[in-house]
Each structure stands twice: as C-alpha cells, then as structure tokens.
Chains A and B, each alone.
Chain A
C-alpha cells in the first residue's frame, strides 16, 4: 500500500462527508423519517441540473440554492400528496422523488453535452477525483469538494447548535412544539433544507445512492448504543468518521490482497458502515442481541437456583434425620417453573449454588449452608404469602394456588414482599396450613 497526498485528501473528503451526513441524518432517524433522506437525496438532482444549465458552471452556490429549493419542494409535495390522496407517506415519497429524480437525470444527460458533468458521478460519486479539482483558499490549494463539504458541515453544525432545543422538541413532540409557538412544520422544512445541502455536498464523494447509507446508518447505530441526545450525535458522527477512514484503507488494501486492483472508496465506506451497524446490533451493551441473550440466561439461572433452594427448604421442614438433604436424582424431579427453560442444566444450577456457597454436597446429597437456608426461607415465605393472597383476596381455587405462586415467587421485589407481609401481618400459615417462615 502506498499512501499519497491523494489518499489524504480522499480520506479528508470522506470523513467530512460522513460526519456531515451523520449529524443531519441523526435527526431523520430520531424523527422516524429516515426515508425522507432517501427521497431528498434523489430529488435534489433536478435542482442541481437546473443550476448547471442556468449558470453553465459547477458553481457551488448555485447548486446549493437549487438543492435547497427542491429539498423544501419535496417535503411540501410529499405532504400535499399524502394529505389529498390519503396515500401512506411511503407511497407519496415514492411518487415524488422518483419523478423528480428522473427529471433530474434527463436534464443532466442534456446538460452533460455542455457542462463537464457525468451522470454516473452523480449516482455513485467520484471521491477519487476530488483531489484533482483544486481551488486556492488563503494561499492553500484545497480540493473544491473538500471546501464545499467544510462549508456545509459548518452550516449544519451551527444550525443544529443554535436550534438544538427546538429540533429536539419538534422531532419528539411536534404538537406541543406548535402550541408553544415553535412551528414544527417549519422546523421540519429547515431540517429538509439541511438534508438537501448535505446531500449535494456529499454527492461528489459518495453519490446520490450511497449518501443514504451515510445519512441513516450512523444514526441507526447510535440508536442501538445510547439513549441520550448529545451522546447520540457524538456516536453517530464518530461511527461515520471511523467508517470513512477504515473504508478508504479497506478500499486500497483489501482487493490487492486477492490480486485485484483497488476498489471504490464510497462503496467500501458504506460496507464498513454496515459492518459497524451489525457489530453494534450484536454487541450493544444493553440492547444488543448478545446482551439480551445473556439476560435471558441469567434470569433462567436465577429462577433455577431459587427453585432448587425452595425445594431444599421444603425438604428441611420434613421430620427425620435426613431433613433438608436431597440427592441429585431427588432434585431432578423438580417441576421446573415455566419461566426456567429446560435448557439450563441442573448441573449448572447446582454448580452455581455451590460456587456461591449456598449449598454443600455431603455424602452424595445436597444440603443448604447457613446462607442458603436464609435464602431458601425467603423464597418459601414469598411463595406461601402469594398463595395466601390468591386464596384470601383473589378467591382462587386451592389447586391453582401453587402454579401461580411458583411463578410470582421469582419476581417478588423486597418492596412488594413488604407490602405482602403488611397485608398478612399476623398470618402464620398458607391456605394448606403450612407455616409461613418469618422475615428475619
């Protein structure tokens, strides 16, 4: 791999494009109008084309004005079609942006004869060409595309910082916003203008199709990772920046490994974004698939251990010398609580209980330690209080008491337990006459 000045500029452009898109796109994700990004990124095309044709150059300002106008037009048209035709919003978007996009394509085909512009660059971007168009800024030669992205990034950042509070309210609760005099519709149009400007600036880097990945995937990833707004934006932008850097490195290093020439940076950026999203989906600390699976296993283990302790506690009430002692095969008869799936092996439960020092194995049978007895008593207490409750207050049939209490005993918090105790203060036995163990 040979890193050149070209590569640096490409990465700078990709990072800026990613960061800008992620910042604005986050609000699309939060507002649940992600596909509006899709619609606008396509429909700005005629705006750009008209700007080309009118000015005859690839002037940034004209392109931005054209894009902003069409951006708002798209939002208004989608809303109007939605309102008057009673179509769902997705269908309205589909009608608006495809038609506008097609008009844009036709215009660009025509314009291409006069202006230096290629439809495929609009579609797929040409980040590799970014460093070739240099302009002078304060004596430095900066690629024009990078300059455009810088300007738009600055606009996006300042508008979002200025209207942070208003954007938050209008995207969360548009009706309240409107009654407070913060007109949610105008905030929405403002957001659409930002999206339009952003997609235009990012066109050159990623093209009008992959720009959707940059708008949506970083926000979608942040959605999995955080539930605070500022961290949300930071994560979103961070993900995009990482994808830009890694994407370019992957584009110039991975294909040569297999004997091919290097590939499109935009394409590999979007691919890396997708990978980051899926990693987050599996590994997110709270909402990730792995974390949730872990939660389920932990719950099953906790229910299983409570069931074993309950069984041992009941055995301890039996008279005789072997009270409170059960062999592994005795325990296997345990009617498992419906919430503890059979997949958790009894061996694992017994191992965990021994590890925690709650039970001990003596002469081939299990018995509770002092701490184990304490916990077993609490489970028995909670179980019998629930039976009492269902019998006295719920008029539940005697035969149905046990299964119901068997489930609830695992979900009784300390506070709920206290309330139950209070209700049955002075009550010393369950409906079948078995003693309710004391709290202490």
Chain B
C-alpha cells in the first residue's frame, strides 16, 4: 500500500542530502541563551526567571532536587511546554528557526516500549526531518541509521523489536536516534537513568566525542558523585538558577546546599500563595 504512491519519489530516494557545514558566528558564541524564562502550571511557577548563557562545545550537566524543574527547563526551551514569559535563543536565533540544529533525547519512560517497531526503525525517526514529509525511509537513510546503531554498539540488534531490549540498550538506541539528527545542540533528559555500567561508559564516550566535534550537550543528571568527571559546565537548578558556570567554579558545597538544602521557606510560601486563588 505504500509503494503505489511512493514509487513516484524513487528518484529522490537515493542519496541523503549533503549537510551544509555549520560554523557558529564567532561574534555570538553562546550556544544557548535564555532570558527571564518562567513556566507555570496552573499559575504555580515551576521555573522562575531563568537566565542562562551557555558557551558552545561544552557538556553541561543540569542538576537539582526532584521537582526542581530540570525536565521542564528542557521542555520549555524546546517549546514542548508553553512558557509564561521569556526568550530562548540557540546560537543567537529563536529556537523555532533553529529546530534542525537541536537534538532531543526524551526520558526513556516517556514512550511506550511495546510499540511495534524495531531498533532500526526507532533510530531512523531521528532522520524524519531530513527525509521530509510523505517520503518513506530510503535505503541511504536506513544505512545511516544502521551506522549510528553500530556507533552505540547495537548493530547486531538492529532488527529486534524494541520491547525485547534491556533498559541500557533502549537508552543506547535513543542516543543513536539523536546522533543521526546531526544537531549542534543536544538536550538529553536523564540518559543515565537505570542503565548498566557498560552503557554508562558508552554514553560518556559519545558525550566526549560530541564535545570534541564542537557540539554542545545538555544532560539532566542525578548522580552528584560523577558531576566533576562527566561535565565541564554545570547548571544547578531549583526552580530558579542557583548557579551556572564551569564545574570547577560553581560545584561548591555552598551552591550544593543552596540547591538541595533547605529551600528558602519564605519563597516557598510565596510560590504557594501564587498558586492559590486569592480570597
């Protein structure tokens, strides 16, 4: 049923389009620029007045306690949740115009792993924008997806149904899907959650390679012990930005206490008051 319509496009199916080389404007080196970003669910703020200026070619960790708004920050940047106010710029341009330069790895639990697709088909999803509307996933693109699978050590499981993969393997193909997007800036939501040691190592190697290639990667992270080892830039978040900067500068016990330790109680009460309907 696919072929009848799609055979028309055979001619264009062969070669993947050539990527135009991307060089960030040297005058504007900030890969991500966020100003006054506020997100509220039903009036109650989840993120408040977030300002960020993150240089390119860094691996940036985003840490903070549960409910600090780490995932929300990523989703607000990617326009997946509406923000009440604020601007987001990627390499000096609004996100909407930079979509193809941005890759996203959602939380593993955000999708249904029983869905009837194979690892290869899942990875090829990262190429859908390049392939364009209405066209099937051609041979050249399948090859590209297969290479990305090999990159994360999953080539021999390419045709396995995704529910038959372990948690670590699922995370790897999620990563492979982001790699084929060939983006400049990546946002990864807890890629280390529930993975085995060898997958963690594989992910780290990929992050380092991306940085070496001049890419910028944002990683929502939970394990404070590995922060120094994995990241060179750190965003410490607890509804507001507590600190952001090179890990060596901001990863201090004082900032940790302010991020994780007792919340500012007066501020908490103010937040609650905003969420309540005035009497």
Which B residues from 98 to 149 make CB contacts under 8 A with A?
99-100, 102, 104, 106, 110-112, 114-118, 121-122, 125-126, 128-129, 131, 133-137
Contact B129 A181 (CB under 8 A): yes
Interfacial residues of chain A within 121-165, with CB under 8 A of chain B in the complex: 157-158, 161-165
Q: Of B42, B104, B135, B181, which is within 8 A of A175 by CB?
A: B104
Known contacts A30-B115, A161-B2, A179-B80: A173-B128 contact under CB 8 Å: no
Extra contacts, 4 of them, besides A169-B128, A172-B122, A229-B116 (Cβ < 8 A), are A161-B2, A175-B110, A180-B128, A229-B121
Can you report 17 A-B residue pairs in the complex whose CB atoms are below 8 A from each other? Answer: A157-B1, A161-B5, A165-B136, A165-B137, A166-B133, A168-B117, A168-B125, A175-B80, A175-B104, A175-B110, A177-B128, A179-B78, A181-B99, A181-B100, A182-B129, A226-B116, A228-B118
User: 9 tightest CB-CB pairs across the interface, nearest first?
Assistant: A227-B161, A227-B116, A180-B129, A179-B104, A172-B115, A229-B116, A173-B111, A232-B116, A169-B125
**B66 contacts partner chain A, Cβ-Cβ < 8 Å:** no
Task: Indicate if B163 sits at the interface (CB-CB under 8 A).
Answer: yes
Residues of B within 8 A of A163 (CB): 133-134
Contacts of B53 in A (CB 8 A): none
Q: In the complex, what's the smallest C-beta–C-beta distance from A217 to chain B, in angstroms?
A: 17
- Cβ of B5 and Cβ of A158 under 8 Å apart? yes
Binary interface profile of A, 222-252, with partner B (CB < 8 Å = 1, else 0)? 0000111101100000000000000000000
Residue among B110, B114, B131 making CB contact with A165, cutoff 8 Å: B131
B161 touches A173 (CB 8 A): no
Distance in angstroms between the alpha carbons of A169 and B137 in the assembled complex: 12
- Closest chain B residue to A229 by CB distance? B116
Chain B nearest CB: distance from A225 CB in Å?
A: 10
**Which chain B residues lie closer than 8 Å to A232 at the CB level?**
116
Q: List residues 369-417 of chain A with CB under 8 A from any CB of chain B.
A: none
Contact at B4–A161, with CB atoms within 8 Å?
yes
B79 CB–A CB distance under 8 Å: yes
Q: Which of B6, B111, B128 has the most CB of A within 10 A?
A: B128
The chain B residue with its CB closest to the CB of A182 is B128
Q: Which residue of A lies closest to B122 (CB)?
A: A172
Considering the chains assembled together, what is the distance between the CA atoms of A179 and B103 in angstroms? Answer: 8
**A165/B128 in contact, CB under 8 A:** yes
A229–B122 Cα gap in the complex (Å)?
Answer: 12
Q: Are A173 and B1 in contact (CB under 8 A)?
A: no
> B residues within 8 A CB of A227?
114, 116, 161, 163
Least CB distance, A193 to chain B, in whole angstroms: 17
Chain B residues within an 8 Å CB radius of A182: 128-129, 133
Q: Choose among A157, A169, A172 the residue that contacts B112 (Cβ–Cβ < 8 A).
A: A172
B106/A176 in contact, CB under 8 A: yes
Contact residues in B for A114 (Cβ distance below 8 Å): none
CB-CB nearest in chain A for B105: A176
| Residues from chain B with Cβ under 8 Å of A173 in the complex | 106, 110-111, 125
Chain A residues within 8 Å of B136, by CB: 164-165
Question: CA of A177 to CA of B110 in the docked complex: distance in angstroms?
Answer: 13
CB distance from B94 to the nearest CB of A (A): 14
Please indicate the chain A residues that have their CB under 8 angstroms from the CB of B110 in the complex.
Answer: 173, 175
A178 within 8 A of B: yes
How long is the Cα–Cα vector from A370 to B12 in the complex, in angstroms? 63
Total residue contacts A-B, CB cutoff 8 A: 87
Q: Contact check, A229 vs B2: say whether CB atoms are below 8 A apart.
A: no
A178 engages B134 (CB within 8 Å): no
CA of A30 to CA of B111 in the docked complex: distance in angstroms? 11
Q: How far is the CA of A166 from the CA of B102 in the complex (A)?
A: 19
Interface residues of B (CB under 8 A from A): 1-2, 4-6, 42, 75, 78-80, 99-100, 102, 104, 106, 110-112, 114-118, 121-122, 125-126, 128-129, 131, 133-137, 161, 163, 177, 181
Q: Give A196 Cβ to nearest chain B Cβ, in Å.
A: 22
CB contact under 8 A between A30 and B5, given known A86-B42, A173-B125, A176-B104? no
Bound-complex Cα distance A369 to B125 (A): 54
Does A32 count as interface, using CB distance less than 8 angstroms?
Answer: yes
**Inter-subunit contact A175/B106 (CB<8 Å):** yes
A190 to B78, CA, bound (A): 23
Q: A173-B106, A227-B116 are in contact. Are A178 and B111 (CB under 8 A)?
A: no
Q: Which residue of A lies closest to B95 (CB)?
A: A179
Chain B residues near A171 (CB-CB < 8 A): 115
Bound Cα distance A229, B118 (Å): 9
Instruction: Name the A residues within 8 Å of B135 (CB-CB).
Output: 165
- Tell me whether B99 and A180 are in contact (CB under 8 A): yes
User: How far apart sit A42 and B112, CA to CA, in the bound complex (Å)?
Assistant: 28
Look across to chain B and name the residue whose beta carbon is closest to the beta carbon of A84: B42
Q: How far is the CA of A169 from the CA of B106 in the complex (A)?
A: 13
Q: List chain B residues, Cβ under 8 A from A176.
A: 104, 106, 125-126, 177
Residues of A within 8 A of B104 (CB): 175-176, 179
B144 to chain A, nearest CB (A): 15
Determine whether the beta carbon of A161 is less than 8 Å from that of B128.
no
The answer to whether A178 touches B118, judged by C-beta atoms less than 8 angstroms apart, is no
Per-residue B-contact encoding for A183-209, CB less than 8 Å = 1, 0 else: 000000000000000000000000000
Distance, CA A281 to CA B12, complexed state (A)? 43
What is the CA–CA distance of A226 and B100 in the complex, to the nearest angstrom? 34
Q: Is the CB of B116 within 8 A of A178?
A: no
**Residues of chain B within 8 A of A168, CB atoms compared:** 117, 121, 125
Q: When chains A and B are docked, how far (Å) is the Cα of A175 from the Cα of B78?
A: 9
Residue with the greatest number of chain A CB neighbours at <10 A, chosen from B4, B121, B177, B181:
B121
Tell me if A228 and B161 are in contact (CB < 8 A).
yes
Nearest B-chain residue to A178, judged by Cβ: B80
Residues of B within 8 A of A86 (CB): 42
Chain A residue with minimal CB distance to B6? A161
Greatest chain B CB density within 10 A among A157, A158, A164, A180 is at A180
Which residue of chain A lies nearest to B189 when distances are taken between CB atoms in the complex?
A175
Residues on the A chain within 8 Å of B163, using CB: 227
CA of A229 to CA of B133, assembled, Å: 19
